[in-house]
Structure 1
Amino acid sequence: MKKILTLLGALSIFVTAATAQVSSDVAEKAFNIMEATEDVLAYHGDYSATVSLVVEKPGKPKENLQYKIFERTDAKLMTIVQLFPEADKGVGYLRNDDNIWSYDPISRKFTHTSIKEALGDSDIKLDDVEQSKQKWRNNYEVEAYEEGTLGKYPVHIITLKAKTSEPSYAKSKYYIRTDIALLLKEEDFSGSDRLMRTILLPKYSKVPAGYVSTQAIIRDELNKGEQTQQVISDLTFDTLPDKIFTKAYLEGLN
């Protein structure tokens, strides 16, 4: 009987630890850090950039993709136009608040889609390129917070669990520098805690408006050897015409 009670007691401790949530103070600190990762970036208001992707898959030649992205970060407006390869030129995506469409220039038709859709055959999701500090509190709850090191950098390690259907993954772990709130690494997990994807952000550049991640490496953890490298260039912060965020704009490009 004593052994049974001991086992039950141990089980009770395990269940309590497994279901325990972080305190409200820790959760608030974690959300403030996540929001700071958006604040230090250069993407405020309107911006445009060229996104170049190199997709690597075992047994296949490297695939090069290129997109032009336009975003108005304070209004949930985003337009993405594919520039390369030539066969897919003009393929587009349009976001207006929570409505997202993909555009096929051949059929000239729009299809309602999801923020979870991938860009071409890459490992990048549409929500990866969205810049919005409101997304953290709106879509996640804080599961864990700790401090550690990543390479030479002391980091905050924050685990967020999705509470809405908008995030592409059930849970994500973020490694953020403690001196400057720059995200260095992200790990994305399934609902069963299986590692699905890893994102590394080894290079940042400082511009007058803030920091820009000029290189990212996105690894598919389910298909070993499969990864996408992303490079950002031609970044501008000029006010964009309203017409860029319309279906007519995408239709008029072809």
Structure 2
Amino acid sequence: MIKPFPENTFDLTILGGVLLAALLGAGTAWGAAADDTDKAAAAAVDATALVQRADAIRFPRESFETLVTVTNYSDGEPGDVREYKVMSRGNENTIVLTESPASERGQALLMRGRDLWIFMPTVSQPVRLSLSQRLTGQVANGDLARANFAGDYTAELAGTEQVDGEEAWILDLTAAGRGVTYSSVRYWVAVADDRPLKAEFYAVSGRLLKTSRYDNFQELAGRTRPTRLVIEDALKEGDYSVLEYTTMALKELPERMFTQQYLRRL
């Protein structure tokens, strides 16, 4: 005859519940620890320094000269092609010379800080422009004349995300003052090596204006840089511009070049 368990024998059901609770607790604690590790890693990232490093990959901090070919597409079909020579000194002073088409050859943009003027052979006085005004296709004046995200925006880390299979930091950039090219930017930068991967550009209203992708990384001016930038109209599918940087070289550019007097002579 099988004897019943004594009254003080531990109930196996209770034991199983205790073990399950312990396992669940351990899992929750491990998950929380992992989350804390991710948060700690993100907190350790200086968002401003990250944007500065990505800026230095896009373009040299030193004075340089580069040639840019812009091909505009409408409804997916290629349209006009334009060429520009960009001369930049420290990301604050820039000259953009129109090389083609021939009808616009001789036009020049001069940027000093966030002040921008256009010089035209047929007009005696320079005309003041904004960085956000369209230069050609989907390209704003500031897209060529000023590429200083770190100087124009305050950066905040928003997390990480996969971009074409690559882990990327997500950065929310908010205009640091008036006169910048875009009101805000969402920016993706590679976790592995700080390469800029893509960006979204927004109006003051919060409306998405354009998206861009940085690709075709090659050696230019002593560093691996994106040599192709695709800027797409967020409002009209099939309208986009492709910027291709064919040459780039470090070059000593004197301060006196970046004046209205010099541009008039040029």
TM-score (norm 2): 0.76
State the distance in 2 between where 1:29 and 1:181 align.
Answer: 12
1:20-59 to structure 2, matched below 5 A, reads 26=43, 29-58=46-75
How far is 1:92 from its partner?
0.9
Higher relative contact order (CA 8 A, sep 6+): 1
The 5 Å alignment of 1:174-253 reads 174-207=187-220, 209-253=222-266
Secondary structure class of the residue paired with 2:47: helix
Residues 216, 226 of structure 2: 8 Å contact kept: yes
Pick which of 167-176 and 83-92 moved more: 167-176
Aligned residues: 226
Verify: 1:78 aligned to 2:94, yes or no.
Answer: yes
Q: Secondary structure at the match of 1:180?
A: coil
For 2:53, give the aligned amino acid.
A
Alpha-carbon distance between aligned partners in 2 of 1:155 and 1:59, rounded to the nearest angstrom: 28
Equivalence for 1:9: none
Whole-Å separation in 2 of the counterparts to 1:30 and 1:159: 9
- In structure 2, the residue corresponding to 1:109 is in which secondary structure? coil
| Residues 115 and 27 (structure 1), Cα distance of their counterparts in 2 relative to 1, 3 Å cut | farther
C-alpha separation between the residues in 1 aligned to 2:56 and 2:247? 21
Tell me the CA shift for residue 248 of structure 1. Answer: 3.4
Matches within 5 A, 1:101-116: 101-116=117-132
User: In the TM superposition, what whole-angstrom CA distance separates every residue of 1:88-116 from its partner, at most 9, and x where no partner exists?
Assistant: 11111111223321111112320122222
Aligned counterparts of 1:106 and 1:59: Cα–Cα separation in 2: 34
Moved beyond 6 Å, runs of 4+: none
Tell me the CA shift for residue 247 of structure 1.
2.4
For the pair 1:63 / 2:76, whether they are aligned, the reply is no
Tell me, yes or no, if the aligned pair for 2:220 and 2:248 is still in contact at 8 Å.
Answer: no
Superposition pairs for residues 159-174 of structure 1, below 5 Å? Answer: 159-174=172-187
Aligned AA for 1:118? R
Structure 1 counterpart of 2:164, one-letter code: G
Assess if the C-alpha contact under 8 Å between 1:141 and 1:162 holds in 2.
Answer: no
So what's the TM-score if we normalise by structure 1?
Answer: 0.79
Structure 1 pair 162–99 and aligned structure 2 pair: CA distance change class (3 A): closer
**Distance across 2 between alignment mates of 1:27 and 1:124:** 35
**In the TM superposition, what is the alpha-carbon distance from 1:164 to its structure 2 partner?**
1.9
Partner of 1:135: 151
Task: Give the structure 1 partner of residue 32 of structure 2.
Answer: none
Superposed displacement of residue 67, structure 1: 0.7
Unaligned runs of 5+ in 1: 1-21
Structure 2, gaps ≥5 residues long: 1-38
Is 1:118 aligned with 2:134?
A: yes
Aligned alpha-carbon RMSD (Å): 2.6
Cross-structure match for 1:147? 160
